[in-house]
């Protein structure tokens, strides 16, 4: 039984819930539990969308500095692989993932939110990559995922200064996708996640892989990734259901097969 990370599934939506008082600092155990939770929801065919949530007060204030403070270079050269691997597992969940951000999402917390497909933030939320203020740089994907999301110059501004970005600015930067009243964050994420339930699960996974993998390669290679994913979907029952429903002017009832 995990101590700091739980998975709750209702109506085919899984919520990966962080719960390590007071600020959801992501120590090594929490990182391993996030990895396990991500793999669990990815493998569960009954789950069609995922929410990352830290609770009503805080998303995650970062990686546990107290745990890292006495680590040597040799220690961190090993641990950093585990750190990145847990976030990569979240980014590779083959279903729509929405981060529901309340309070602080800083450092590792911001990096975890970057692993989601979409981000909903409360009006008083603050995001940022303050590692530079510790004489460090982001180590769980921030220097790579952030510029891919908001562009290199804007990412450098946040990484070089370590400043905390309020929700309204985060929305303008493209760092979050929606801003809602604090008390509505989880509900808004749940409503968004519900729009994917009943959809063509195999096609959604293919779409996510095509976009994410395409961002890492040149255009010609990306087009080939798209072509292979597109062609492969013609072997699915959902594609037959969808195209037949279109021709019959009916609403498709996808099976996820």
Which positions are catalytic? 111, 131
For the chain, give the secondary structure using H, E and C: CCCCEEEEEECCEEEEEECCCCCCCECHHHHHHHHHHHHHHHHCCCCCEEEEECCCCCCECCECHHHHCCCCHHHHHHHHHHHHHHHHHHHCCCCCEEEEECCEEECHHHHHHHCCCEEEEECCCEEECHHHHHCCCCCCCHHHHHHHHHCHHHHHHHHHHCCCEEHHHHHHHCCCCEEECHHHHHHHHHHHHHCCCCCCHHHHHHHHHHHHHHCCCCHHHHHHHHHHHHHHHHHCHHHHHHHHHHHCCCCCCCCCC
Which pair of tokens denotes residue 241? 């259901």
């Amino acid at each position: 039984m995990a101590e700091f990370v739980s998975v709750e599934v209702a109506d085919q939506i899984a919520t990966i819930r962080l719960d390590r008082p007071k600020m959801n600092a992501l120590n090594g155990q929490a990182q391993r539990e996030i990895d396990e939770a991500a793999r669990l929801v990815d493998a569960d065919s009954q789950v069609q969308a995922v929410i990352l949530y830290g609770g009503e007060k805080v998303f995650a204030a970062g990686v546990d500095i107290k745990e890292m403070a006495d680590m040597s270079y040799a220690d961190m050269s090993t641990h950093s692989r585990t750190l990145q691997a847990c976030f990569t597992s979240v980014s590779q969940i083959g279903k729509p993932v929405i981060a529901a951000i309340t309070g602080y999402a800083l450092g590792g917390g911001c990096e975890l939110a970057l692993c989601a497909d979409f981000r909903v933030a409360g009006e008083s939320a603050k995001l940022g990559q303050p590692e530079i203020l510790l004489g460090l740089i982001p180590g769980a994907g921030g220097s790579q995922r952030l510029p891919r999301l908001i562009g290199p110059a804007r990412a450098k501004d946040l990484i070089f200064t370590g400043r905390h970005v309020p929700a309204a600015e985060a929305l303008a930067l493209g760092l979050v996708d929606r801003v809602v009243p604090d008390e509505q964050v989880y509900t808004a994420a749940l409503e968004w996640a519900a729009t994917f339930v009943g959809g063509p699960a195999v096609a959604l996974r293919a779409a996510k892989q095509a976009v994410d993998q395409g961002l890492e390669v040149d255009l010609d290679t990306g087009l080939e990734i798209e072509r292979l994913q597109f062609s492969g979907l013609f072997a699915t029952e959902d594609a037959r259901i969808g195209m037949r429903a279109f021709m019959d002017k009916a609403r498709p009832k996808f099976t996820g097969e």
